[in-house]
Amino acid sequence: MRRMIVILPLLAIGLLVGCGSSSHAPTTTVAPAAATTRANAAAAAKTSATQRLFTKTQAIAFAHAVNLRARDVPGFKVASEHKERETPAEKRSGAELTRCAGGVGSSHQVAEASSKEFEREGNNSAQNVQSGVTVEQTPALAAKELAAIRSARGRTCLSHYVTLLFRGQKYEGASVGPVSISSGSPHAPGTTGGFALRITATITLHHIKIPFYMDFLGFVYGPAEVTLFSFSLPEPFPAATEERLFSLLLTRAKTHGA
């Protein structure tokens, strides 16, 4: 939930920059929800990787080891870095979203780090992708965050927050809405569980309607929440690319979290 709070205000500010011209869950979310890995009697006597605790230094190293690099997204370039920061009102709204959904506040985080934002533009089309890792103090706190993201209550709170966020922005003659959210549970074996959310809305500019899609796919592994974020218009982000990047993040988390 925190990853969404951080990204959405920045996206809303620059949403129409470079744009001249029905909601479906991401394809990767149709698989059944992953169950927690079963432990046998011998493994039960040991502390599993999913129960590991991180120091701040370890958490930062883990995040950098897992996050996307430029070579992971051929055909994309590093987007220009935005210096905008959340306004006090947006920070309050973000905190209210966390409380509304029952998620974990930032005071319980050990570390948080994002990859660069990567972009690819075409004729009247745009695609952006980024990853992020948040490490909580304990696996139980990360599991609480997962439960909040996957809950109906969490989706309702997020929909309300996003609607208010877009309504509060100035778009030079354009409007955004209505907002819809769909969800699923991607297959994430060996983790506490996965989550997927797609936020869909339409930009209306000079009587032209342009649909856009924001996907959040992620999983919780021990105390870490790993998220893949993508933005695309006027078509959804390519499902095959999302699936490949999600699998890559999952493999890296298991490799570096062991």
116 SS3 class: coil
Residues belonging to the chain: 258
Give me the chain's average pLDDT, please: 78
Note the pTM of the prediction, 2 decimals. Answer: 0.80
pLDDT, tens digit, 9 for 90 and up, residues 192-213: 999 999 989 888 877 888 898 9
Of 54, 1, 8, which Cα lies nearest the Cα of 166?
A: 8
Instruction: Map residue 181 onto helix, strand or coil.
Output: strand
| pLDDT digits 0-9 by tens, 77-93 | 998 765 455 566 666 66
Residue in the block written with tokens 């988390």: 253
103 against 127, higher pLDDT: 127
Q: Give buried/exposed letters for 214-251 (b at 16+ CB in 10 A, else e).
A: bbbbbbbbbbbbbbbbbbbbbebbeeebbbebbebbbe
Q: Which of 217, 258, 223, 220 is nearest to 241 (CA)?
A: 217
Task: Write the pLDDT tens digit of every residue in 37-75.
Answer: 333 333 333 345 667 788 999 999 999 999 999 999 999
Q: Dihedrals φ, ψ of 140, to 5°?
A: -65, -40
